[in-house]
Amino acid sequence: VVKVLKIGGSILTDKTRAACARNDEIDRVAAEIAKSWKDLIFIHGAGSFGHVPARKYGLPEVFDPAGLLETHSCVVKLNGLVVDALAKAGAYPMPVHPFSCTLLRDGRIERLPVAPIAEMVRRGLLPVLHGDVAMDTSRGAGIVSGDQLLSYIAKALKAEVVASGTIEDGVMAKGRTLKEITRDDLPAIGSDLGGSSGVDATGGMKGKVLELLDLADDGIDSQIFNASKDGMIIRALSGEPLGTGVRRSR
Ligand SMILES: Nc1ncnc2c1ncn2[C@@H]1O[C@H](COP(=O)(O)OP(=O)(O)OP(=O)(O)O)[C@@H](O)[C@H]1O
Ligand SMILES: [Mg+2]
């Protein structure tokens, strides 16, 4: 049973301030994952380590080598903090940097070899990917969000548990948290589904939902849950329904 978990940069960082880690939250998330990481692939968002420099350099619209290096270096730093915390908590994490192995076309992943990731899992390692910049055959370079990585890897490895933890209880519309969402619900939700309250170059909640609806179209359900509350990550990894389920239209 392959499981793929994404924890948003909204949990691990302060998204309103450049390269600002929330170390207590990184340690708490690492401790929860370390209790339940068998067969897991972990992805973390870029948070303010990625979205802030990306905006500063006008990525992905502008191709800027200095911007690419700064953005990539920054998210790799966050990844280092996360990997260190996971190792300290007792897991066997291994960093996987999307920039080094991903090819985009028009902002969408065209190639990302998952065999090394599957092999890590088979050997009892915990692959740790992150939102990153990546080369793009049509635009020079682009941004590959943790949300897109979650959906791509879950599909490629036919994951049975797919969970996206963020700072909200799930997808909110008309003042309440939706139990589930399908593509058919989008028109009715309309402008309730928005971007991010912090700096976010990849569409905030809307981007997340659209990625997971693509995955649902391929027959893989997922959920968006609140990972800022103690114990929720362990519950999500056990397959318990939490927050908002993202499902295929009936
Ligand atoms: N309908 C909605 N329901 C819930 N959150 C919403 C909604 N519309 C917009 N949002 C915003 O989306 C944000 C979550 O997306 P955001 O991309 O900031 O977090 P993340 O994915 O956890 O972080 P990262 O992109 O760094 O991984 C929420 O904090 C909220 O401000
Ligand atoms: Mg986001």
Task: Quote the Cα angle for 168-173-179, to 5°.
Answer: 70
pLDDT of amino acid 188: 92
The residue-averaged pLDDT of 162-184 equals 96
**């994404």: which residue's tokens?**
6
pLDDT, tens digit, 9 for 90 and up, residues 94-139: 999 999 999 999 999 999 999 999 999 999 999 999 999 999 999 9
What six digits make up the tokens of 74? 């920054």
| Ion ligand 2: residues, CB < 5 A | 200
Q: What is the pLDDT of residues 19-38, one digit of tens each?
A: 999 999 999 999 999 999 99
Mean pLDDT to the nearest integer, 78-106: 98
Token pair belonging to 22: 């929330």
With 0-12 / 13-18 / 19 or more C-beta atoms within 10 angstroms meaning exposed / middle / buried, residue 180 is middle
| Mean of per-residue pLDDT scores for the chain | 96
Tokens of 163: 């969970």
Nearest residue (CA) to ligand 1, atom 13: 196
**Ligand 1 binding pocket includes 6 (Cβ within 6 Å):** no
pLDDT category, 190, cuts 50, 70, 90? confident
Backbone angles phi, psi at 129, to 5 degrees: -100, 175
- How far apart are the CA of 104 and the centre of ligand 1, in A? 23
Pocket test for ligand 1, best of 10, 52, 222 (most atoms within 8 A of CB): 10
